[in-house]
A and B are shown apart, each in its own frame.
Chain A
């Protein structure tokens, strides 16, 4: 009886889930098909696995180069983001000083600023610093735009930690830096890890500022490389090659998500749900 009453709910949910899974699976499957097969075989699995599509995307589409660009720039950015944001968040949530709330708000307000507003001034500043069209310039910008959310997330995390240990370590004669380094930071590691995962996924997929800042083909990140592959596709109609590219781009984030989704979702919702 209850199963029958819940049937509509199951159908509605499964319809959505089936569509999402089928759409993504179908892209991955199409990456292994031949050009003709992609157009005719619909949802059928590939007749044989054509790995050469991946070779084309990786070498001719140059996604191999862009992949290493993305890995370097995203990992470096995430490291730097955490390096500057964690101490700031610690102080903003645990220290007592005048203007603390105003300073926190100043950090958080960045989350409301529409990123396209930055296109022109950022381009101008990087040109002035002679960092336009460089991965260094993009890294700095990635760090800057990720600070508001990361500080917000970590401030909430530090605030939720118990204060007894902090007090005890100070009584034991630890300096304030030692207390942070050896007592509070280890306790905050789960939060820092969550921030790292979220920033990794966002920056891996970041595309608008990369589009504005990067110009020369050898500097492209993966989303940009995929975008140019997609545009070239209009002339070559090499759908399997494009889908191989799509697969290369989405595999890392989907893997991270599959392994760490619980942590990610907990982090995403922590700020919104108190």
Chain B
């Protein structure tokens, strides 16, 4: 038996740090979003839902919101499409499965700032890897594209992001697939099932729970996305790259010049949390099903 004293002694340190520097600050965000508060030294004025009304009428907020949703759904579509595709391919009985898994996941252990420096150079219009490769392949016109122009930069950033996250979810899906008993596929082979049949009728139902968790993890990551687009934007992040997280940061701290609209910024944080939690609840409800026994 583990005694009461030990329970308290063992849980308390973690709980105290976690409460003081994580949970309570999160809760505080709700409170301070109700104030007009411009600077850490200055007096905060209670304005009720004023910050939220202001958000409602703020085109930059809606731009950030739209970008976050584009990231979540368009980015998510490609991430999971590719992750599933490569899960099937890597699992189709080819040689070198472990090596491939290793390389696909690699971008996830590399600093985001390093990745963004690398992609900035890949996209460089004159010397970049992308345009020089296109030109050497004979695509003169495409080889002149300005990948980081205001029209393209969001999608250029998203492509790089898809490259990173595909590897992450591939790892999760592959681990799920590895748990499927091999005789299920053998039986399907005897029945003459093709690759698609096996994927749709065996793999998907068998890794349903892993899929649910993967979607939840993606939602959390997409809603809080800050580091990658921020570093990708270099010195002054262009508005085309604003996500909710970046807009919060800019409203709170500014980029070159301080802004310190602290109450307003925390209201954006509340929007992020509400968005993340409602999407998680939605996904869990949509993906709910009876427990599969095998």
Chain A residues proximal to chain B, CB less than 8 Å: 6, 9-10, 12-13, 16-17, 20-21, 23-24, 26-27, 30, 38-40, 42-43, 83-85, 87-88, 90-92, 94-97, 103, 106-107, 110-125, 127, 140-141, 143-145, 147-148, 151, 170, 176-177, 180, 201, 204-205, 207-208, 211-212, 222-223, 226-227, 230-231, 234, 239, 242-243, 245-246, 249-250, 253-254, 256-257, 261, 264-265, 268-269, 271-274
B86-129 at interface with A (beta carbon < 8 Å): 86, 89-90, 92-94, 100-107, 109-114, 116-118, 120-122, 126-127, 129
A223 and B214: CB pair below 8 A?
Answer: no
Once bound together, how far apart are the Cα atoms of A264 and B109, in whole Å?
Answer: 10
Q: Considering only CB atoms, which chain B residue lies closest to A271 in the complex?
A: B213
A114 and B245: CB pair below 8 A?
Answer: yes
Given contacts A114-B276, A207-B113, contact A13 B94 (CB under 8 A): yes
Contacts of B253 in A (CB 8 A): 119, 212
B112 and A205: CB pair below 8 A?
Answer: yes
Contacts of B34 in A (CB 8 A): none
A269 and B111: CB pair below 8 A?
Answer: no
**B21 interface residue, CB < 8 Å from A?**
yes
The 3 tightest CB contacts between A and B, nearest first, are A114-B224, A144-B21, A121-B25
**B269 interface residue, CB < 8 Å from A?**
yes
> Can you identify 5 A-B contacts, CB atoms within 8 angstroms?
A39-B127, A107-B14, A110-B23, A180-B10, A274-B209
**B77 interface residue, CB < 8 Å from A?**
no
Contacts of A85 in B (CB 8 A): 14
A97 and B4: CB pair below 8 A?
Answer: yes
A227 and B102: CB pair below 8 A?
Answer: no
A223 and B235: CB pair below 8 A?
Answer: no
A115 and B224: CB pair below 8 A?
Answer: yes
Q: Considering only CB atoms, which chain A residue lies closest to B97 in the complex?
A: A13
Number of inter-chain CB pairs below 8 Å: 275
Contacts of B126 in A (CB 8 A): 39
How does the 8 Å CB contact mask read for B197-241 relative to A, with 1 for contact and 0 for none? 000000000000110011011001001101100110011000000
Once bound together, how far apart are the Cα atoms of A148 and B272, in whole Å?
Answer: 19
Once bound together, how far apart are the Cα atoms of A111 and B18, in whole Å?
Answer: 12
B3 and A176: CB pair below 8 A?
Answer: yes
Once bound together, how far apart are the Cα atoms of A85 and B214, in whole Å?
Answer: 24
Given contacts A6-B92, A144-B20, A253-B110, contact A268 B171 (CB under 8 A): yes
- The smallest C-beta distance from B127 to any residue of chain A, in angstroms, reads 5
Once bound together, how far apart are the Cα atoms of A254 and B105, in whole Å?
Answer: 11
Contacts of A13 in B (CB 8 A): 86, 89-90, 94, 100
A91 and B10: CB pair below 8 A?
Answer: yes
A84 and B14: CB pair below 8 A?
Answer: yes
Once bound together, how far apart are the Cα atoms of A239 and B129, in whole Å?
Answer: 14
A242 and B110: CB pair below 8 A?
Answer: no
A90 and B10: CB pair below 8 A?
Answer: yes
**B11 interface residue, CB < 8 Å from A?**
yes
Contacts of A144 in B (CB 8 A): 17-18, 20-22
B32 and A230: CB pair below 8 A?
Answer: no
Given contacts A116-B248, A127-B40, A272-B172, contact A26 B2 (CB under 8 A): no
A227 and B176: CB pair below 8 A?
Answer: no
Contacts of A246 in B (CB 8 A): 114, 117-118
- The smallest C-beta distance from B24 to any residue of chain A, in angstroms, reads 8
A120 and B252: CB pair below 8 A?
Answer: yes
Contacts of A97 in B (CB 8 A): 4, 7
B269 and A117: CB pair below 8 A?
Answer: yes
B112 and A147: CB pair below 8 A?
Answer: no
Contacts of A140 in B (CB 8 A): 17, 21
Contacts of B106 in A (CB 8 A): 20, 24, 254, 257
Once bound together, how far apart are the Cα atoms of A117 and B220, in whole Å?
Answer: 12
Q: Considering only CB atoms, which chain B residue lies closest to A26 in the complex?
A: B129
Residue of A21, A42, A107 near B129 (CB, 8 A) is A42
- The smallest C-beta distance from A161 to any residue of chain B, in angstroms, reads 14
Given contacts A116-B226, A273-B179, contact A230 B89 (CB under 8 A): no
Contacts of B148 in A (CB 8 A): none
Residue of A21, A114, A243, A249 near B273 (CB, 8 A) is A114
- The smallest C-beta distance from B275 to any residue of chain A, in angstroms, reads 9
Once bound together, how far apart are the Cα atoms of A118 and B276, in whole Å?
Answer: 15
**B262 interface residue, CB < 8 Å from A?**
yes
A112 and B103: CB pair below 8 A?
Answer: no
How does the 8 Å CB contact mask read for B145-179 relative to A, with 1 for contact and 0 for none? 00000000000000000010000000110011001
Contacts of A96 in B (CB 8 A): 1-2
**B13 interface residue, CB < 8 Å from A?**
yes
Residue of B18, B40, B111, B176 near A204 (CB, 8 A) is B111
B3 and A112: CB pair below 8 A?
Answer: no
- The smallest C-beta distance from A98 to any residue of chain B, in angstroms, reads 11
Once bound together, how far apart are the Cα atoms of A141 and B26, in whole Å?
Answer: 13
B101 and A265: CB pair below 8 A?
Answer: yes
A91 and B92: CB pair below 8 A?
Answer: no
